[in-house]
Amino acid sequence: MAEQQRGSIIVFEGPEGAGKTTQSRLLYDWCVDHQIPAVKAIEPGGTLLGQEIRAILLQDRNNDQIDPRAELLLFYAARLQNLKEVVNPSIKDGKLVIFDRFEGSSFAYQGVARGLGVKAITDLSRMFVQPSGCIPDLYLFLDVPPGLGLKRKLGEDINRFERENLTFHNRVRQGYFQLYRGIRDGKYRLAQHAEIIDATMPQDIIHKMVVNQVIKLLGREDLFL
């Protein structure tokens, strides 16, 4: 029997309210409609351990004192469990794995905005993520000015990160730009390829741009929108 072709990994990144969850869902639905085997991977979460870690990290309760290094390692703990339980088996099955945040978030939030330094993330990635073969094929950075992203989320429950001030969120955004340039220049091996998408545009236009990127990635030019 012919060996199953390996799947691909695509990651949505970007600040709060950029539209990552919206675009992950639209892409997943598009895959289902076009018989492209796909799976959604949420960070942190996706596994039992991941859900418990998510509650610790995101809930707006008495967790203000979490040390940034502890925060970083908790994200990685959830991530590694997700890779083992969900991502690796899906990749082996030839599926497209759609991540709603991945290591890019650790880079921008803990590495840059919390000030831990990006080397902590590139080291953790080299030690634990890259050896498992889970280097994403494509990072899509949904870029919005933080004020707009946070405004979109008004009325929803806010988490521990959304409660940070605008200076913090601006640093997150700068972190994403730094990562984008580093991936493009081959300095950071967190992904094979990265694109920035202006996420102030309407959802359906962004979705078309996303789909066209995925079509190129999968070599399915017959499906161009």
Residues within the interface to ligand ATP (CB under 6 A): 14, 16-22, 152-153, 199, 201-203, 206
Q: Nearest distance from residue 181's CB to ligand ATP, in Å? A: 21
Side-chain half-sphere of 43: how many Cα atoms within 13 Å?
27
Q: Nearest distance from residue 159's CB to Mg ion, in Å? A: 10
Measure the CA–CA gap between 225 and 223, rounded to whole angstroms: 6
Tokens 């070599």 sit on residue: 219
C-beta nearest to Mg ion: residue: 21
User: How many residues make contact with Mg ion (CB under 5 A)?
Assistant: 2
Closest to Mg ion by CB, 20 vs 114, is 20
Closest to ligand ATP by CB, 91 vs 138, is 138
Q: Nearest distance from residue 56's CB to ligand ATP, in Å? A: 17
Q: Which does 196 bind (CB under 5 to 8 A by kind): Mg ion, ligand ATP, none?
A: none
Cα–Cα nearest to 141, from 185, 193, 186, 95:
193
The Cβ of residue 128 has, within 10 Å, a number of other Cβ atoms equal to 15
Q: Is 21 in the site for Mg ion (CB under 5 A)?
A: yes
Closest to ligand ATP by CB, 14 vs 136, is 14
The Cβ of residue 192 has, within 10 Å, a number of other Cβ atoms equal to 14
Q: Nearest distance from residue 21's CB to ligand ATP, in Å? A: 3
Helix orientation angle between 48-58 and 68-82, rounded to the nearest 10 degrees = 160
Measure the CA–CA gap between 93 and 39, rounded to whole angstroms: 11
